[in-house]
A and B are shown apart, each in its own frame.
Chain A
Amino acid sequence: MVKYFLGQSVLRSSWDQVFAAFWQRYPNPYSKHVLTEDIVHREVTPDQKLLSRRLLTKTNRMPRWAERLFPANVAHSVYILEDSIVDPQNQTMTTFTWNINHARLMVVEERCVYCVNSDNSGWTEIRREAWVSSSLFGVSRAVQEFGLARFKSNVTKTMKGFEYILAKLQGEAPSKTLVETAKEAKEKAKETALAATEKAKDLASKAATKKQQQQQQQFV
């Protein structure tokens, strides 16, 4: 399950001022959590667009309950890539930003489009979308599936047990000995639980693979 965010902001400055400021915004009083900034790729395309990839490292601030749950993540900063396309001819800029570590815990992706404000050509508007996802959702689904499967196999045992004791109390000669019938029921329940565990394992690994696939991109 993905959490979605959509927002819009306005900067009361012209598009060219904003685009120039974009490359100079660190450090600023509000960016104490940003530790390093590096351009790791840059090129001008034949159609005069500037493509850049910026690598940022940021502190990994979590609430205390999260630090207790995910102690392995506490010590490591977050690495973030910000890809951008500046199109001066159309006076727009598009950015895509996402974290490349701590991804098994959570991935945040942000896509921004900067363009001239529709009401005031001296202003710049930013349309911002974000997606917050976590593969922990896959784990909780696997736990639920396993719990349900085990419960169902226990229901089978319950009913077989009932049928057995009712037959005995009503004087019917049991068709098998006590030991044989109980053994049979146990085997059947074991098979059901095994099938359920396989399904749960498969679900969990699918969730993990899906996350991995989303991180491993193809070569350009």
Chain B
Amino acid sequence: MNSVGEACTDMKREYDQCFNRWFAEKFLKGDGSGDPCTDLFKRYQKCVQKAIKEKEIPIEGLEFMGHGKEKPDSSS
């Protein structure tokens, strides 16, 4: 899968490979410590955050998990 930053795709794939291994073999089995992918992640993030700024993608200041409030079934 491609990154939104064309130059970042290889870095993304490298990070993804590392993450997927750690996620299945360590994290899901209860060992959430020692993330071996931090360097790869930093490198990838530097690239992708730059691309996001260049493309003016508005990801800033958005609360995690969106609104978090209980939404009604229907409202006017």
Contacts and interface: CB of A to CB of B under 8 A. Distances in A.
A and B together in one complex: yes
Nearest to A97: B66
B19 A220 contact: no
Interface residues of B, number: 41
A180 interface: no
A217 B61 CA distance: 6
B66 A35 contact: no
Interface string A96-120: 1010110000000100000000000
A96 B71 CA distance: 13
Given A2-B72, A23-B16, A109-B66, A88 B30 contact: yes
The interface size bin for chain A is 35 or more
B3 A36 contact: yes
Interface of B: 1-5, 8, 12, 15-16, 19-20, 23-24, 27-30, 32, 35, 41, 44-45, 48-49, 52, 57-59, 61-67, 71-76
16 contacts: A1-B76, A23-B16, A27-B1, A36-B2, A38-B5, A39-B19, A44-B35, A48-B32, A55-B57, A79-B59, A85-B65, A88-B32, A89-B30, A219-B61, A219-B63, A220-B63
